Structure formats: structure tokens, C-alpha cells
Chains A and B, each alone.
Chain A
Amino acid sequence: MSEILILAEQRRGELRPATLELVTAAQGVRRAGDRVVVALIAAEPQALVGVASAAGVDEIVTVPVAAREFEPDVIEAAVLALVDARKPSLVLVPHSIDAFGYAAALAARRGYGFASDVFQLQYAGDTLVATRGGYGQKISIEVDFPGKSTVLLTIRGSTFKPPEGSGSPDVSSFAAPAVRARVRSVEFLDPPPSDDVDMTAAEFILSIGRGIGEEANVPRFRELADSLGATLGCSRPIADAGWLPKTRQVGQSGKTASACKLYVAMGISGAIQHLAGMKHVSTIIAINSDAAASIFSVARYGVVADIFEMAEALQEQSS
């Protein structure tokens, strides 16, 4: 009988959805008698208890801390104290930008078993086995943690579905040690809405990637998106190069196009950072001239074709 501790992630007073995905992940490795516990580490954790009370959660621990927003020293001190006290066998953290900033530090300090960006976990007998990607996601790597009484894993987003329904977990609290924040939050800056597009509300997105070649080709695809009635999006390299505003970037760091149900990716090879943002979409059509592009393993439909020829043909057919 052991504890699976989920470290919830909150920002600006809201619980981030990835937290609930971890509840589902925990159910997958929960054995008889195990308890799934969600730790809410925030300035006002009480406010998040309701949202965090998903089906499958046995206990919620509120850990009030001085920091309103993410400050690694504060979070780490709280977690280390919590884990020292409760000794969970498994600690789950979302593989998020925040986690980039503290998960490995926890493991390094205490020597927990550690793996990041895990998309599959199960027990093989008594051994916990986690699967992650390697060599640019072209390979899968299975790892285990011999001799580790506590294992900390960061879990890939959009891999597990959040549980349906809510539960009534026990609620307790934990006093975290006060600690000086050497890295301090100053403020948030929303990206300037340069072209009034709200990717989070778009249901049909047409995204372009490096395959379009030159900036001069962007208008061609904008035209296509318009004729098809889609919102134009792009992968990171396009936004980094300034060919489209950052607001149009879709992918792990870009806008989570949460309302998107239909996604057409043209000239996108399928780098994991991009795919991570789009895996929840029910219908993905990938168009790429490279038959070996990784996106074809994620998409529902694939077309191996020259994207410019396809753009023309689609334009013709849609009118």
C-alpha cells in the first residue's frame, strides 16, 4: 500500500488541465490499497479544492506557500518536505514548462528515480516501467528504477484523458517550510494580440510548417485557409522566424488549440513539441512530401504530396 502523489500545477489562480490528466495516469498504475493524492501548492490552495476533486482522487493536500505564482525555490522546498513526510512511492508531475524548472532538481537533490516526458507507465510484476521517446521521438525507450523507493516522473501532456466526473476526496493540509525565493516572479505578459485571432476558440485550423520554404509562400496558404474556412496556424519555426505572429503558433509552447476538432497540417514534419499541442484533436489530416515524416504516425489521414500542388488542388476543389 503506497501513495501516488500528484503535484498539481496552478497559474493565475487556475488549476491547469494537465493536473487532471495525471489522475488518469495514476489510475493506470494504481495497485490495491494505493492512494492517489493531489497536492495543491499555491498561495490560496483552498480555492482549487473543488476543481481538483476529480473521480479517482483519494486525498487532496493543501500546501499554502508565500508565492502567488511559480517560484522554483518555494515549490521545491514544499515538495521535498511533503515527500519526506509522506514518502509516496510515485510522484507525478506534468511535463510542463514549470516542471522543466524544478522536477529534475527534486530528483537530483533526493536521488528519486527519475524520468521525464513519459507517455506510458505500467508495472511489469513489481517493477515500475516508464516509456519515453528517444532520438527525436523516432525510438521508444523503456526505463525502470531499481532500488528506488520513490520515483518522480514528468508525464507528457495530452496523453491521458482527464477523468470524467468528480469525487469526494479527503482534504488535509501541510505546512511547508518558509524559504527565501532566490528566483522571484515579477509579472505575466500576455502576448500582444496582433491580429485578433483566438486560437483557443478555433475549431478548424490549417497549420503550416517549415515545408513551405520561404516567407513569400505564406500568403498562398493564408488564401487557402480562407477558402476552406479554416483559421491559419503555424508551427514554432514559422513563428520564430517572424513569418506569422506568435499568436498563431500551435504546439507545446504555442496556444493550446483546445477547441480544435479538425486540423490540417501542411509541411509540418511532426516535431514532438508541435504534436504535443495537437494530439487531442479528433481529426488530423497531414500533408507532407516526405513519406517518413513523424506526423503520419499521429495523424488520422495522410497525404504524401507536394504541398504547393496540393494547395492549388484544394483551392480549386473548394470553390
Chain B
Amino acid sequence: MLTSLLAFFEDAGTIVTTAAEPMQWGAIFAFVAAALAFIPAGIGSTIGVTLGGQAVAGVAAEKPDVYPKLQVIQLLPATQGIYGFIIAFVICLRIGVLGGTIAALTIEQGLQYIAGALPIAIVGYFSAVFQGKVGASAIAMVGKNPDMSGKGIAMVAVVETYAIFGLLVSFLMVWLGVAI
């Protein structure tokens, strides 16, 4: 078992050692951009889902039958974290983290990645938190009147629109905007 682990890490080690020169500031900025894309959106989703979960616990305790409908609403703010993750992944993909050789980037290019990460970072965070709040209200509404679940879901989905736009803007910026 130990030898197999060692073999694996030796393999993995080659990825790092192929980077011939010490890492450039441009690449470091790009790494920061990847982290920045994910962190706020991920935190926002965590908060949003928590708000929904607390509301679900309150309502479902009294009406266990509507639980599946509420669960759907609770899950909706989880997507902003995913969008942040996608942008982080795309940045990693572009700068060659996954290919093994990290591209040589200028500082300007690195900063461009940071700019590209901002839309999903900021809009994603707020959209997730506020979607969680609307979600909690929708959960209370559906708990009182289960027939309104369709409207409740639509109500919550409206908040997500701008997170999707944030994703698209970030995506276009990091995918097409930086010439390597």
C-alpha cells in the first residue's frame, strides 16, 4: 500500500518539476483569480443553503409530507458555488495547471484573470445569500400552501438570473478575454 502511494506521489511530483523556471507573478495572479472566483460564491452558497435548511426544518417538523418540495427549494442557492467552481476550473484549465506545465503569464494577463473572476465572485456571493432568504420565505409559503410550490420555485429561481449572467460574463472574460 505504501509503495503504491509513493509511486502515485512520484508520478504527481513530475507535474510540478516540469515547470522549468520559478513561478511568475502573472501565474500567481492567475492562481489568486481562481481562488477568488470560488471562495465568495462558495461561501454565499453555504449561507444560502443554510438559511433554506433552517426554514425547512421548521416547516417539515409540522408537515413532513411537503418535505420533498421544500428540499428542492433549499437546494437552489447551491448553484452559485458551482458557478464559482466552474470559473476556478476554467482558469486552471487555461493556465495549464491540469496539463502539467503552467503557462508563462505576464502580470497584466494575471490581473486580467482576477478581473474575470470578479463577476461570479461578487454577484455569485450576493445572489446566493439573497436567494437563500427568498428561499426561506418560499419554504414558509409552500409549507402553508403546498399547491404553490411551482410559484415558490419560480420566485426563488428569479434571484438566480444574475448569478447566471455573472457566470457567463466571467466565463467569456477568462475563456476568450486573455490571449496566451
Same assembly: no
Residues of A within 8 A of B (CB): none
Residues of B within 8 A of A (CB): none
